[in-house]
Every structure is written in structure tokens, then in C-alpha cells.
């Protein structure tokens, strides 16, 4: 996917990753309205970071390709080329998932 957004300052663009909806003992299909929103995603783009009081740039702690956890209702959802992405401030990210 060619990303047509460039995040500013301390913002990142995250592609949500759906959880596996596997159930033991058979198939169960949940309607979209019953599924929980993902709380995990991959960073697709990151801004340059914010500036401190002296004008020095403070780099982000996360980078493109990191798998991150975020609060369920945080960020702003945007639809790009039939794909939903979320835009967060770096402070909205709770953790980086280490492999």
C-alpha cells in the first residue's frame, strides 16, 4: 500500500491488526458490530518528533514496522484506499510488542 499521508510532529499512522477469532468446537461467525476493535497494530509511518523548549528535535521512541499496543478508543480512524488506519500521538501508544 502506498501511503498518501505524512504524519506531523509526534504522530504515527498505524494499521490495526485483527485478532484471530478462532473458537474451539466449531465455527462461529460474529457480525462486525459484535467484534471488539483491535488494540494492536503495525506502524506504517512516523512523524519527525516534537521540539523541546530550546528548539531541539526529540525523536520518537517508536519506528516504522514496530508492532504496538494502544488503548481501544484512542486515536483517529481514517479510511485510505479501502483500508482503515489510525492516527495516534506517540503518547497514545501503550507499548511496543517485542518478538
pLDDT per position as a tens digit, 10-50: 999 999 997 655 555 566 565 555 556 669 999 999 999 99
Q: Model's pTM, two decimal places? A: 0.78
Determine whether 11 is exposed, middle or buried from the number of CB atoms within 10 Å of its CB (0-12, 13-18, 19+).
buried
Instruction: State pLDDT tens for residues 55-71.
Output: 999 999 999 999 999 99
Amino acid at each position: 500500500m502506498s501511503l498518501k499521508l505524512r504524519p506531523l510532529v509526534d504522530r504515527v499512522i498505524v494499521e490495526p491488526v485483527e485478532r484471530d477469532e478462532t473458537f474451539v468446537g466449531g465455527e462461529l461467525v460474529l457480525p462486525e458490530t459484535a467484534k471488539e476493535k483491535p488494540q494492536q497494530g503495525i506502524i506504517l509511518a512516523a512523524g519527525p518528533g516534537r521540539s523541546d523548549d530550546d528548539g531541539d528535535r526529540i525523536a520518537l521512541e517508536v519506528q516504522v514496522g514496530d508492532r504496538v499496543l494502544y488503548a481501544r478508543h484512542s486515536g483517529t480512524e481514517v479510511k485510505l484506499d479501502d483500508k482503515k488506519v489510525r492516527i495516534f500521538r506517540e503518547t497514545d501508544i501503550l507499548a511496543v510488542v517485542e518478538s
